[in-house]
Structure 1
Amino acid sequence: MNILDTVNQITRSFDQVESIVQALPFAVVLTNEKNEILYHNEMFEQMLGKKEIAYLLLQPLKLLLNQESLEFIQIGMNLHTEINGNPYVVRKEAAYVHGEKHYLYVFSSVEQLEQLLNINREKSVLQETVMEYAYDGNAIIEENESTKNEFKEQNKALFNLQDIIGDSSSLIKVKQETEKVALSDSSILLIGESGTGKELFAHSIHHASKRSSSSFVKVNCAGVPADLLATELFGSGYGEGSATATRISKVEAADGGTLFLDEIDELPLHIQVKLLDFLQETEVQNVGSSVTKKLGVRIVAATNKGLEDLVEEGEFSLDLYNRLNGVSIQIPNLIERKRDLTILVNHFIHKFNSLMQKQVKRLSKEAEEKLYQYQWPGNIRELESVLERAVNLVEGDLIEVTHLPDKLLTTTLNPIVPLADLIEKTEREALLTAIDQANGNRSKAAQLLNVSRTTFYEKLTKYDLV
């Protein structure tokens, strides 16, 4: 069944109430048993800033959201309600997109969505039922004793070292280092330019560790407003016993597993102090609470900036830096592993062929040359974007230069100068400089160049400088 058939089959089953779902002011998603997207409303498209149905449908929800760099603030929260005496549980999630909070409601089966929507076709009833959970601070949110286990099941490492593609020597070396350090419980600092795949390495570390059966929890330190970040990481003791107290903090959710702090350089100083305390004491005290909890969490942090410079500027804690930098891994950029370019190109062509139902086979020789000439400041993420654009534009099976963005077409390689010519040019310039500094005294010029008078005069003759 192709994507359009999937859309038609799903929408036909509740065509009379689809207008209600489309009118809701928050995202609604229907997934199958593999957590692949079968249906979504327009608010979900707006949330991601994408309009291509083919891009969104049949993608794993969690993988798609990770690709879109959405920072979850609530994951797997169960909303229990009754409509006409029938119990229903809908998964509620929320994420920050460009600093704005969005709600996402996930239905796990066609039947569940059909039943909920068909109970009453009056728009007002459905609106009131779901809107209560979205905007009423006193909404009844029920979280049973298995919340942590549910969270754990939903937050597994998505990638392992085999998913990091390439066979260049620099990449192989880093993968070998990663495999070794993953076995310990030491904190790890991943250092690399934007787009080099630091998050893939973080997932791989968790997957290869003794903690792989427990949660892998990601926090983008730049993606959550500073005034909320401390509570997100360490929880809140306010309102204990109320619905708002049922949400667990990130460090608690990662207990027994791995907490991945992406863009650690964006962590505010007052939260750096609290994180350092947590690393030293391995216990957490919720904001506003006197209760202390002992936890076992491994920290993996990532940065694309020089933390040493931030330490010198007083923007990053030296103690926290030393604590995190016990084991550091430098992720190579794409220029350092250009041997992997062909492998990565083939991988992304295959990926976008599947998503767009295309039959692209390869790049033309001229287009391939342009890819090798380009310096790739955005690294693998930029390469993926370029190839997504190209596969979108191509009509046949060959990606031509015309399918590449202009920034690649204006790139030219520096001309290769023969080594002999380069040596001669350098020697001639050295002779002239020495004679000038010796005020024309050639014996002194020879001494400055640390060569004998015989060799000096031979060089002068060779370059016609006598």
Structure 2
Amino acid sequence: MVNKILENLPHIFNYADFLVVTDKYGYIEFYKVFRSVGSKIVENPVGLHILELHQHLNEETSTVMRVLKTREPIINEKQHLNIFKERTVTVLTTTLPIMAGNEIIGAIDINRYFDLDLRAIHDQDINHSFDYNDFFFNIDDILTQNSAMIEVKNKTLKAAKTNSPVMIYGETGTGKDLLAQAIHNHSFRKHNPFIVQNCSAIPLTLGESIFFGTTKGSFTGAENKMGLFEMADGGTLVLDELNSMDISLQSKLLRAAENNTIRRIGGAGLINVDVRLISLLNEDPYTAMEQSKLRRDLFYRLGVILIHIPPLRERKEDIPMLVDSFIDEYNSKMDKNIKGVSKKVMDLFMEYDWPGNVRELKHIIESAFNFTEEDVIEEEQLPEYIRCNQNSKMAAISIDDNFCLNTAIKDFEIKYIKLALENSSTLNEAAKLLKISRQTLKYKMDVYGIEFE
């Protein structure tokens, strides 16, 4: 299996500093360090489980174990690995699932040194020829027939052709990260690094070193390390949840964005960088500025191209095609043959407001796959809160032995006629508010005994 995989991925040897291939259970079948750093390599780990090799990792932190579980690639995640006896190294890891038809049979773990001194060894020795392009979403992966979303796709393609900073905002789960990947993948930077940093996860004391890097000796324990700007040089740096970044760090980010230069902590000189910035916000940037979550000067610099992704509740016509797409995806991942959802389920989906947006819809489909034994997803396979949503709406219009439809209609009309009259100076104005003729309004007022003062 391993030889066939490596024959089909010739660029890996130019890209990787070391490589691991595991079977579907996480046991190592191939292990190769292409570029040593002078330290002695640990004993040949072939046959060991990946968590035996990296004992400080677990099923949640190991990229290999997560890919084997989710069957989805992980791109450019930073890890600390003990592949050498004398030192732990920081690497950028890309882990890909190995599929045979619909079945996952293993994972391939591709690693590059992250530390500045180790990167120098790599860069002297190789050409950066590994192409990430195949692993990113592109514009065709954004499924929609909604006019607002079609405009979003058009703006995305136009933005990809330029080098201006992009700010994408929308509720959680709308697909901001997918849009950022599409911009990168359709741009001239598509063969270069694409690095995502969640700003809410940055400790204030480490912010500068994460973005700009450090120089050995600049503080106790400091080593020569590149920051994210240097790692993303020539490519794209995505600032996820920018509105969660500390305001003081935002000012330092602004200087780097304006001047295209950075200075490592403790460094003497400026370093030129060529990085396109894409920032993602889970709220309106104007609201973020009013609440002092986003500096106005940073917004003016990073919000050159503004793209708003509407929530799923505002484009419900997309739900059927999204459902079909997720069913196809999970049929492949879970080796099932589900044909669709029942009419009742689709009605529930169209009625629900989707606070978690497309991500929530996808997770509900995945949840249903775990319980569906037939070829159609039924209401019983949905989470209880989705089913209860319909019940709660029906409860607001309860029907008992005393209910009378004519009385309910009469009470409704009286309420809104009086409300319109209270907010109008003439009968004509009230009729316009109610969108009925003056004659109809006068007739109903006479029937219900309503007077206009």
Q: Would the TM-score normalized by the shorter structure come out above 0.5?
A: yes
Matched residue, 1:119: none
Matches within 5 A, 1:103-118: none
**Residue 302 of structure 1: SS of its match in structure 2?**
strand
**Residue 274 of structure 2: SS of its match in structure 1?**
coil
**Residue 389 of structure 2: SS of its match in structure 1?**
coil
**Residue 74 of structure 2: SS of its match in structure 1?**
helix
> Which of 250, 255, 263 matches 1:272?
250
Q: CA deviation at 1:326?
A: 2.1
Matched residue, 2:382: 404
C-alpha change, 1:54 and 1:7, in structure 2 (3 Å) is closer
> Which of 336, 341, 357 matches 2:314?
336
> Which of 70, 74, 95 matches 1:62?
74
C-alpha change, 1:52 and 1:78, in structure 2 (3 Å) is closer
**In structure 2, distance between residues paired with 1:172 and 1:228:** 40
Amino acid at match of 2:148: S
After TM superposition, the score normalised by the length of structure 2 is 0.70
Gaps of 5+ in 1: 28-42, 67-71, 83-89, 96-105, 110-132, 439-443
Matched residue, 1:197: 175
- Preserved CA contact (<8 Å) 1:159 1:200: yes
**In structure 1, distance between residues paired with 2:417 and 2:49:** 83
Q: Could you give the per-residue CA deviations for residues 273-325 of structure 1, whole angstroms, max 9, x where no partner exists? A: 11111111111111221210112211100000233233233332111112122
**In structure 1, distance between residues paired with 2:23 and 2:50:** 20
C-alpha change, 1:422 and 1:180, in structure 2 (3 Å) is farther
> Which of 123, 146, 155 matches 1:146?
123
Matched, 1:314 2:292: yes
**In structure 1, distance between residues paired with 2:417 and 2:141:** 55
Cα RMSD of the aligned pairs, angstroms, is 4.6
Matched, 1:288 2:266: yes
C-alpha change, 1:406 and 1:436, in structure 2 (3 Å) is closer
Amino acid at match of 2:364: V
- Preserved CA contact (<8 Å) 1:152 1:215: no
C-alpha change, 1:454 and 1:360, in structure 2 (3 Å) is closer
C-alpha change, 1:148 and 1:184, in structure 2 (3 Å) is farther
C-alpha change, 1:387 and 1:149, in structure 2 (3 Å) is farther
**In structure 1, distance between residues paired with 2:382 and 2:440:** 54
C-alpha change, 1:461 and 1:264, in structure 2 (3 Å) is same
> Which of 159, 168, 189 matches 1:181?
159
Matched residue, 2:446: 461
Matched, 1:47 2:52: no
Q: Could you give the per-residue CA deviations for residues 37-68 of structure 1, whole angstroms, max 9, x where no partner exists? A: xxxxxx2x243799999734xx35426xx8xx
Amino acid at match of 1:374: Y
**Residue 259 of structure 1: SS of its match in structure 2?**
strand
Q: Could you give the per-residue CA deviations for residues 210-258 of structure 1, whole angstroms, max 9, x where no partner exists? A: 2222221111111233322321111112348xx9755422111222221
Q: Could you give the per-residue CA deviations for residues 148-201 of structure 1, whole angstroms, max 9, x where no partner exists? A: 977783755611111112222221111011111221111111010000000000
Matches within 5 A, 1:317-466: 317-412=295-390, 428-429=414-415, 432=418, 446=427, 449=430, 458-465=443-450
Amino acid at match of 2:210: E
Matched, 1:304 2:282: yes
**In structure 2, distance between residues paired with 1:19 and 1:206:** 35
**In structure 2, distance between residues paired with 1:172 and 1:302:** 19
Q: CA deviation at 1:369?
A: 1.6
After TM superposition, the score normalised by the length of structure 1 is 0.68
Gaps of 5+ in 2: 2-21, 31-43, 95-106, 398-406
Amino acid at match of 2:274: G
**Residue 18 of structure 1: SS of its match in structure 2?**
coil
Q: How many residues align?
A: 383
C-alpha change, 1:152 and 1:204, in structure 2 (3 Å) is farther
Q: Which moved more, 1:403-412 or 1:366-375?
A: 366-375
